[in-house]
Amino acid sequence: MQIRHHLLVRLWMGTRGIVNPRACADEECAVSTSDIPRGSATSTRSAGSLRLDLLGIYLNDHLAGSTTGTRRARYVADATRGTSLGDVLEPIAEEIEQDRASLLQIMGRLGVPARRYKVLAAGTVEWAGRFKPNGRIIGRSPLTTVVELEFLRLGVEGKAAGWRTLRALADTDDRLDQRQLDELLARAERQLSTLEELRFRKAQQVFRGRP
């Protein structure tokens, strides 16, 4: 199967440092860092003091996780569309997609290439995970939504940890945008709060036999 390359749309959300991308809708979610704009050194902070060999591995691992999270968030939002849960998950799925695009932009500024094999492997793992039966062979089990919400919450926790790491590095490297990372971290914390509330409420409904 021929791999199609998805271009990153360089559209900022107003004056915010969060990228608004086109949807990464199918298995070939890899985006080359050649499509991502490079930052310019305009502050008094230094550049080039980071261990980019190790940071590159770290960021590509986060990109793989972000790919999995983006696809799963979209899948769950689509599966619950038309419900009160789906109404809440839809904007979160869009934000998670935007966060992935922001990560790619950050990698581009640092000169870290996206490793396509990791991205494709992550997409395959996410797709395979959809077939976990959770007590039913046909149709969605009530437990499925609980498991999916926990999966999304864990993914956002990992994403927030990544933003915290980069925010600390931004204090001494002008290729990292401090304001952008502050906004990304604040948004991840809001996502965590919402997902935990949804997860807890759904778990109580399922395990207590409530409609």
Domains and their CATH numbers in the chain: 50-129+142-207 (1.20.1260)
Question: Is the distance from CB of 85 to CB of 197 less than 8 angstroms?
Answer: no
Confidence of residue 67 (pLDDT cuts 50, 70, 90): very high
Instruction: Kindly indicate the confidence band of residue 132, based on its pLDDT and cuts at 50, 70 and 90.
Output: low
Residue 142 is predicted with a pLDDT of: 81
Residue 191 has a pLDDT of: 98
- pLDDT beyond 50 at 169: yes
In the chain, the percentage of residues whose pLDDT exceeds 70 is 65
From CA 31, how far away is CA 16, in angstroms rounded?
Answer: 22
pLDDT at 19 over 80: no
Task: Name the least confident of 40-44, 108-112, 159-163.
Answer: 40-44
CB-hemisphere CA count at 13 Å for 156? Answer: 27
Q: What is the mean pLDDT of the segment spanning 152-167?
A: 97
* Residue 115 confidence (pLDDT): 82
Which are the contacts of 23, defined by CB distance < 8 A and separation ≥ 6? 74, 97
User: What's the rounded mean pLDDT across residues 101-127?
Assistant: 79
